[in-house]
Amino acid sequence: MTITRLITLILLGLLSWFLFTVAKNATSTITESEQFKLGSAVIAEHRTANNKARDVYRNPGKTLAFFGIKSDMTVIEIWPGKGWYTEIIAPFIKSGNGQFIAAGFPQNTGPEWRKNMAKNYQHWLEQSPVQYDQVSLVELGPPSHWNIAPNNSVDVILTFRNVHNWLKGGYETEMFTAFFAALKPGGVLGITEHRALPDTDLETMKSSGYLTEQLVINLAEQAGFVLEEKSAINANPLDNTLHPKGVWTLPPTLRLGDEYRDKYLAIGESDRMTLRFRKP
């Protein structure tokens, strides 16, 4: 058997496993052919090895299938950071001639690290036009960047581990209001977020980065969304959420450095809620 043939069989096996686990472990709202395309994006060669190594914690294929994204949709990713999810979503959307919009940090306001991250993200996109030449960039955040798309024009808005930042900054209401305005009636808001214990107080949530599910649900419902379904795709029962440096104690940040490093690596990334909301 040739090496090429062996690699092909391995890739087909991985895609079969992806399709099986999506059907078994998540309520997917996309067709089998879309699941196959999404699985191909997850294992694509352009993804970096470091990013792929985190799939075990972030479960991108199952998560995106649960949120119901399709390659011909208009999809917005909120605050994409260094592009971990963009690396998967943008080529997937391009394959179906959909539209992918990255709503990043404002480049002329806010802390310097955010300005730099926004510029670095744009440069990263420009370096790989085959995957990212169709990505549209908009700015989102205080003090005045709240219009991310024409009203009622977007199929899906996705945000990954960002709500705690908005809560700490005091503009969580503006964010959810912006999402509701941009989405079409029937459109989906998909959220993953670090999950606090149910009775965690507000100040602890702000300092730890872990939020209660109920708080996130309340924020979305206050903006007009309806909770459609929860998923345990990104749950981590090893994470008790009670760490000296909050969620940043765990990988990938490991804020304590080498102190108890093996312990926190064994826990893995944070316990996370995965919520799908719909605009009526």
Query: Residue ranges per domain, the chain?
Result: 70-278
The answer to whether the beta carbons of residues 84 and 59 sit under 8 Å apart is: no
Q: Is the pLDDT of residue 95 over 70?
A: yes
**Fold annotation for 70-278:** Rossmann fold (3.40.50)
Instruction: Please return the burial class of 166, using the count of CB atoms within 10 Å of its CB with bins 0-12, 13-18 and 19+.
Output: buried
Q: What is the mean pLDDT of residues 50-54?
A: 96
pLDDT digits (tens, 9 = 90+) for 113-170: 999 999 999 999 999 999 999 999 999 999 999 999 999 999 999 999 999 999 999 9
CA atoms within 13 A on the CB side of 263: 9
Instruction: State the pLDDT at residue 132.
Output: 97
pLDDT at position 97 is 96
- pLDDT for 21 equals 47
What integer pLDDT is reported at residue 155 of this predicted model?
Answer: 98
Instruction: Quote the longest CA-to-CA distance of the chain.
Output: 60
Q: CA-CA distance, 63 to 69, in Å (whole number)? A: 10
- Please tell me the distance from the alpha carbon of residue 226 to that of residue 209, in angstroms, as a whole number: 24
* Residue 110 pLDDT level (bands cut at 50, 70, 90): confident
Q: What is the pLDDT of residue 27?
A: 52
CA 275/CA 63 separation, integer angstroms: 10
Residue pLDDT, tens place only, 194-225: 999 999 999 999 999 999 999 999 999 999 99
pTM, to two decimals: 0.90
Extract the tokens encoding 243. 């760490």
